[in-house]
């Protein structure tokens, strides 16, 4: 599976997600602009000593990302998703796409891919879960459905 972060803003979230990717063999796609430097000490600290285990692909823009991943089935995580993340059937080559912490994914993208929008159910009194927590929850459901390929 793949995880994509569109214009992430908080280095600790990206570092935590990178650590999850290292632990699961998941490729991480980062779509620029990033809200931090990849030399950021908080990013490095959150990823611990796993950076050498993470396959990271950078995209210069959203358009570049969408064009270069069009051959993959993509699931777009949003608080406005049409279906619960656990109600879809994931496949090993699926990509899980997450937006920036303060704004989520662009509304045009969500509209264009509405049947592929997913959400994690939460209480109405809250806006959202933390990005790195959401990415882990959704990724592990996908991996569970695929029988945790390559994991012990």
| Residue 138 pLDDT > 70 | yes
The per-residue pLDDT for 40 is 66
Helices 11-24 and 131-145 cross at an angle (nearest 10°) of 20
pTM above the 0.85 mark? Answer: yes
CATH of domain 2-145: 3.40.1280.10
| Residue 5 pLDDT > 80 | yes
The DSSP letter of residue 34 is P
Q: Which residues contact 107 (CB under 8 A, 6 or more apart)?
A: none
The per-residue pLDDT for 46 is 64
Write out pLDDT tens, residues 41-55.
766 776 667 888 999
């Amino acid at each position: 599976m793949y995880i994509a972060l569109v214009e992430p803003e908080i280095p600790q979230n990206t570092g935590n997600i990178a650590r999850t990717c290292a632990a699961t063999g998941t490729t991480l796609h980062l779509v620029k602009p990033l809200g931090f430097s990849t030399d950021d000490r908080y990013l490095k600290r959150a990823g611990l000593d796993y950076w050498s285990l993470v396959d990271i692909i950078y995209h210069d823009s959203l358009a570049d990302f969408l064009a270069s991943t069009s051959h993959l089935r993509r699931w777009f995580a949003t608080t406005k998703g049409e279906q619960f993340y656990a109600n879809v059937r994931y496949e090993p080559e699926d990509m899980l796409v997450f937006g920036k912490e303060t704004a989520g994914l662009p509304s045009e993208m969500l509209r264009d891919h509405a049947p592929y929008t997913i959400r994690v159910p939460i209480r109405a009194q809250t806006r959202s879960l933390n990005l790195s927590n959401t990415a882990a929850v959704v990724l592990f459901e996908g991996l569970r459905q695929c029988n945790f390929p390559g994991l012990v």
